[in-house]
Amino acid sequence: MKKKVVIVGGVAGGASAAARLRRLDEQTEIILIERGGYVSYANCGLPYYIGDVIAERDDLFVQTPHGLRARYNIEVRTRHEVLKINRQQKMIEVKEVVSGRVYQETYDILLLSPGSAPLRPKIPGLDGDNVFTLRDVADTDRIKNYLRDHQPQRALVVGAGFIGLEIAENLIAAGLNVSLVEMASRILPRNLDPEMAARLHNHLRKHGVNLYLQTALTAVEKRDGQDWALLSNGEQIPFDLAVLAVGTSPETLLAKEAGLELGTNGAIRVSASFQTSDPHIYAVGDAIEVESGITGEKTYVPLAGPANRQGRLVADAICGRNVKYEGVIGTAIVKVFALTAGTVGLTEEFLKHSGQKYLASITHPLSHAGYYPGATSLDIKLLFTNEGRILGAQVVGAKNVDKTLDVIATIMKTGGTVDDLATLELAYAPPFSSAKSPANIAGYVAGNMIRGDMPTVSWDQVLDQANPDIFLLDVRPERDYAAGAIEGAVNIPLEDLRERLHELPKEKEIVVYCTVGLTSYLATRLLIQNGFKVSNLSGGWRTIKPLLEDRRAMAAHDKH
């Protein structure tokens, strides 16, 4: 018997499901209903069109209604909005947006892929026609047209998550002066820990972004034709255009009114095969609750990669194939001018709050062989259990961030350990990597910590916890020490250490550091075998220096 599948919503989840469904079943009638004017477009490319990095608007479109009809025999109805689901009659009520006509459509299987909507905080005065969110092509066109027609000079971006960072960079590229306001103490607060965000803070300031951290937008006032943003720190800054990027919420009103079960963040609760509480209705994408691939807990992770995979898998499930979604580990990446930040899994802040036991390492390997021109430093933070299971990772740098992050994410997704990371056989030639890849090095260091070969302390234990029982030892060459060091540190270069052991206290814990952690690791091994109590400062001076620079910049801003 011929089956009729109606899909609500296109883009990543819905369009992927429609195409996969047709590949599996030539006979099924497939109708895709999309409220907007476009069925399949590069949602993540929208900020780059605003900044003219993507020059042609047409390049944003992955597939058109005509293309889906011609290639897949899928009926696509754009500018049609589903108003109601009648589960008893297996029927939906649809409004044709342009004409206002309302009609009914039956289904055998209904797939919901409505996505998520940008949050719009209720802030007094924040309702002008120069205030935007960025979700779809229509939003992009509105911002692009405003830039063209009004030629604004000053932009306010509220929220420093992925979209906030991307739109800030692209508004700078479009020639605007940009102020970025974030309530948290750092950018990407759900994805990066403080020491990993510090380098990016300094980089944003270097590229002209006025960065306001631990600051909320409290109101907007218009005076003499000029909009002023009133901030929680008492400052007032003028702006001509504002973009709100404070997060998203799942679009689930349709599901809620139909009586479908909801879960985390009000997202649609689904089974491992994407079935809702109604066996004839499935759901995928940014509107659904997912399972964490790390903790097993229910969570909400709106990302394009998982949405595409869910679209493929739900088509299999609808066709009767055995499907069990393995959950989400949250692999994500963002370009920040000349740097890149990548993240997967849990942060240290999350682990601290959850009470879970963990270890953390920071390494700073070069992106490729140091003797080959152009090598740059990577910052890699690895979070793992005492048994070696990787709980999360953060990578920041100018080159090879994506490659390093993807290697770690692959190990995590397949249930591997830090030792598996160390033993990976990865491609090496001087222009591309080192014989020990950055991922290998992160695995080696984590393994050393687990086996007790390298006791470590973290940056905050040194910078933020005054401890008279700690002796801080800098084992770098004298010229490096003279160029900048942690306050109170004593400098004994590694080459001189054996002859100067008598200068070190046996009764105190010695915290050793160098530039990135390798020289101090050698010093740690030497001192342990000579009877000293010693720990290595994870990440060394290269972790501490950006933090100190960031703190100085914030203090100078507060003073100003």
> Which amino acids are annotated catalytic?
44
**Both tokens assigned to 126:** 């924040």
DSSP helix/strand/coil, 544: helix
Q: Residue 201 burial (CB < 10 Å; 0-12/13-18/19+)?
A: buried
In the DSSP assignment, the letter for residue 262 is B
For the chain, the C-alpha Rg in angstroms (whole number) is 27
Residues 328, 363 contacting (CB under 8 angstroms): no
Residues 148, 304 contacting (CB under 8 angstroms): no
Q: How far apart are CA 166 and CA 158, in angstroms?
A: 12
Q: 401-413 vs 438-450: helix axis angle to the nearest 10?
A: 50
Residues 298, 290 contacting (CB under 8 angstroms): yes
Report helix, strand and coil shares of the chain as percent, to nearest 5: 35, 25, 40
In the DSSP assignment, the letter for residue 87 is T
Beta bridge partners of 63: 40
Cα→Cα distances 227→130, 134, 143, Å: 9, 20, 17
Q: Residue 123 burial (CB < 10 Å; 0-12/13-18/19+)?
A: middle
The sign one gets for the Cα dihedral 37, 94, 98, 286 is negative
Q: How far apart are CA 22 and CA 30, in angstroms?
A: 8
Element (H, E) at 394: strand 390-397
Strand order in the sheet with 102-106: 80-86, 91-96, 102-106
**Both tokens assigned to 285:** 């994408």
Beta bridge partners of 158: 181, 244
Q: How far apart are CA 32 and CA 155, in angstroms?
A: 37
